[in-house]
Amino acid sequence: MTRIAVCAPATPITRDHADAAERLVESEFPEHSIHFHEQCFKSSGHFAGTDLERLEALVELANDPQYDAVWFAKGGYGSNRIAEAAIARMNAAARAKTYVGFSDMGYLLAALYRNGIGQPVHGSMPVSARSERGREAVRRVLRWFSGDGSGLEPSLDGSKPAVAFNLITLAMLTNTPMMPDLTGHVVMVEEVSEHLYSVDRLFFHLANTLPRVAGLRLGAVSDVPENYVEFGQEAEEIAKFWCDRAGILYLGRAEIGHTASNRIVPFGLASPSTAG
């Protein structure tokens, strides 16, 4: 059994979201248990409670030895505001856990990875459990918790360490105390709801700040807003342009992103499942 605890380090979910995830686990994955912290349902402006409330919930669950994994409830801006303080308070139990999320949760995944705390994992989150397409994304993670590697990103072959990030999150992480050393890594990036000129701007930044990575893969670039004039390059052309300019090996596409087909990417060199 994997004992999963859920908190919301950025934005809140509703009790309906939690109920849907709990029903899914109970009906299809009885080998697991899932617990939602009350903080998930709090609201303080944009956030799921104040910075202190979100910090305390994360540290409480991370440090509690009764849980094997911390699954972040939802993305949305905000986890960067508490990530460093949370890392500083994590204990030995926190170092034995698996942490799953993506999008804005990349700030936490990066900080955990940099500090060698647990197994950070790019994967879909419980907020998606209310729709059939979303449930399949959630099932993918729950199967992985059971040791089923079928939901892993297909390009993972164990030969090189890998990470996966939302593009803007990775760009914001560079040159901060949360940024891990990605030398020799395959870096996968995806983006949502950004104009293509913004995607280009983010690649410009990363091309000038990433270390000597093993290569880059591009995931989904979805829900691109319509601009008053076409940018002139599609997302993959942008990625190839900046990789070529920076001398980064472009490795092709990855099946990650803000879509129902979002695949799982354990950070580093990981076995198909490292959860309890």
pLDDT level of residue 276 (50, 70, 90 thresholds): very low
Q: Which residues pair with 189 in a beta bridge?
A: 165, 218
Distance separating alpha carbons of residues 102 and 255, to the nearest angstrom: 13
What confidence score (pLDDT) does residue 144 get? 97
The three-class DSSP label of residue 85 is: helix
User: What's the pLDDT score for residue 240?
Assistant: 98
Q: Give yes or no for residue 271 having a pLDDT over 90.
A: no
Q: What share of the chain in percent tops pLDDT 90? A: 97
Q: How much is the pLDDT for 41?
A: 98
**Domain annotation for the chain: domains and CATH numbers:** 2-151 (3.40.50.10740), 162-253 (3.50.30.60)
What is the per-residue pLDDT across 205-245, written as a single tens digit (0 to 9) for each? 999 999 999 999 999 999 999 999 999 999 999 999 999 99
Angle between helices 15-28 and 132-145 (to 10 degrees): 60
Integer-rounded Cα Rg, in Å, for the chain is: 18
User: Does the pLDDT of residue 33 top 80, yes or no?
Assistant: yes
Residue 209, Cα to own-chain centre: how many angstroms?
21
Least confident of 113-117, 200-204, 272-276: 272-276
What is the mean predicted confidence (pLDDT) over 142-163? 96
SS3 178: coil
| pTM of structure | 0.96
pLDDT at 163 over 70: yes
In a 10 Å sphere around its CB, with 0-12 CB exposed, 13-18 middle and 19+ buried, how is residue 261 labelled?
A: middle
Indicate if the pLDDT at residue 44 is higher than 90. Answer: yes
Report the first-to-last Cα separation within the chain, whole angstroms. 7
Q: Write out pLDDT tens, residues 178-204.
A: 999 999 999 999 999 999 999 999 999
- Adjacency order of strands within the sheet including 2-7: 32-36, 2-7, 69-72, 98-101, 119-122, 265-266
